[in-house]
Amino acid sequence: MITETELWKEDIAKTANKLLKRLVQKKWSKRSWFCLEKELFIGFYAVRKLIESDNSLNKLSHKKYELLMFQRGNIIQDEFDEFVPYDHENSQKELVSVRDICNQFIHSHHLIPFASNNSLVGFLVNSEFQSKKGIYMITIFDIVEIYRSCAGREGLVDQKNEI
């Protein structure tokens, strides 16, 4: 149970702003990857706990995001030299609830960043359970929107941390 929900909401809003800055980040060290993972894991855990603790967030739990899902298929090699058994050529759109998105990150089996033009755009992620079906692609923009909605700050950019 979370007792100080306002402090958690304030922190998750700050994390959303940090994630937006990741869009333009060019240099990635082991430390920056670690910080990014921490922002995702703790962030989604906090979102799930806030949803469970705050009745005003009940609607957020059921809100759905349209994600691309790559079904389990032939084994191919990805850029990190691991074999990932998903069909990267074909995808389908799937509506996924915020609660389920939280669980994909919290219980992640695969968490693979993806980029465009040398900029981080989002992640391929799935839980152990979901890994038998496929893997989702979610953008940083969707993650930021989830975090901000949880914090009650939809569409706002913190003036001190503006990108």
Residue at 92 is within a domain: yes
Torsions phi, psi of 86, nearest 5? -130, 145
The chain-wide mean pLDDT, for the chain, equals 86
In terms of residue numbers, what domain contains 90?
5-155
Cβ atoms of 109 and 123 within 8 Å: the answer is no
Q: By C-alpha distance, which of 112, 114, 86, 98 is closest to 147?
A: 98
pLDDT score, position 160: 46
Residue at 162 is within a domain: no
- Residue pLDDT, tens place only, 34-58: 999 999 999 999 999 999 987 778 8
pLDDT score, position 57: 86
The CA-atom distances, in angstroms, between 92 and each of 68, 80, 139 are: 6, 24, 15
Torsions phi, psi of 74, nearest 5? -70, 150
- Residue pLDDT, tens place only, 119-137: 899 999 999 888 888 999 9
pLDDT score, position 78: 57
Torsions phi, psi of 132, nearest 5? -75, -20
At 112, the amino acid letter reads I
pLDDT score, position 59: 87
| Tally of domains in the chain | 1
pLDDT score, position 89: 74
> How far is Cα 50 from Cα 115, in angstroms, rounded to an integer?
30
pLDDT score, position 80: 55
> How far is Cα 140 from Cα 16, in angstroms, rounded to an integer?
9
Residue at 84 is within a domain: yes
Token couple for 62: 């059921």
Residue at 132 is within a domain: yes
Residue at 150 is within a domain: yes
> How far is Cα 68 from Cα 119, in angstroms, rounded to an integer?
19
Residues of the chain with pLDDT under 70: 74-84, 88, 155-163
